[in-house]
Amino acid sequence: MPKVIPEYKEKAKQRIIEAATRAFAQNGYHQTSMDNIAELLGVSKGAIYQYFKSKQQLFFDVFQSALIVQKDEVMSIILSDNPLYIASEEFFETKISRARSFGLDMFLEAARNEAIKTRMTKIYDRSYAEFTKHVEDLKNQGVIKRSADVGVVWRGLIALRDGLLSSVFLGADTSDAKKTWQKVATLLLNEILVKETG
């Protein structure tokens, strides 16, 4: 069924990316065949190749689209009124469901792909730059301690998040993970926030 709608191509790509994201996330890059994705879409293998020249390219695009989502979300929280929301179990809950729909091993596959690594580093760097810029404002507003080493906290939070998510996927108890997140994140944020919280 040819579709002559102008933006159809973009929509088709998007649909494929979504299906692929689901498939990669659930079964991993290697366990997912182009056939799987096509079937998920109710479409023939060949159709996918009209939009992505290879499985690698599809993966790359899937990954990038996921990264963009991640970045946006992190930024929005940082810029929100209540920075301590980050330390809530609710926040971590959304992380879990998002990660579940993203797939850890996509990161590992990505880690083997130089092009992806470069891009990812770039995205993280930009994200970090925006973060520190915003932090400067918060310091001026007296929300964050002037002396705070924000980099450490930032990296600590991200590592904690990733590590806890991994543990959940590897079978750890979810409520333990959530509680851990809440406590440790609070601890970290209190290191930099002026007004103590518990």
Residues 71-110 that bind a second copy (CB under 8 A): 104-105, 107-110
Per CB under 7 A, 179 contacts DNA: no
- Smaller CB separation from a second copy, 15 or 126: 126
**According to DSSP H, which parts of the chain are helical?**
8-27, 34-41, 45-51, 55-78, 89-100, 104-111, 114-140, 150-169, 174-192
Q: Say if residues 55 and 23 touch (Cβ distance below 8 Å).
A: no
Q: Say if residues 37 and 16 touch (Cβ distance below 8 Å).
A: yes
Number of amino acids touching a second copy (CB under 8 A) = 45
List the beta bridge partners of residue 193. 144
Q: How many C-beta neighbours within 10 Å does residue 92 have?
A: 23
- Rounded Cα distance between 17 and 156, Å, is 31
Residues 114-133 that bind a second copy (CB under 8 A): 117-118, 120-121, 124
Per CB under 7 A, 116 contacts DNA: no
Name the phi and psi angles at 147, rounded to 5. Answer: -85, -5
Residue from 69, 111, 115, 129 binding a second copy (CB under 8 A) = 111
169 binds, among DNA, a second copy, none (CB under 5 to 8 A by kind): a second copy
151 binds, among a second copy, DNA, none (CB under 5 to 8 A by kind): a second copy
- In the complex, minimum distance from the CB of residue 114 to DNA, in angstroms, rounded to a whole number: 17
Per CB under 8 A, 170 contacts a second copy: yes
- Smaller CB separation from DNA, 4 or 170: 4
3 binds, among DNA, a second copy, none (CB under 5 to 8 A by kind): DNA
Cα–Cα separations (whole angstroms), residue 24 to 62, 100, 150: 9, 11, 34
Using CB under 7 A, list all residues that contact DNA: 1-4, 8-9, 12, 31-35, 42-47, 49-50, 53-56
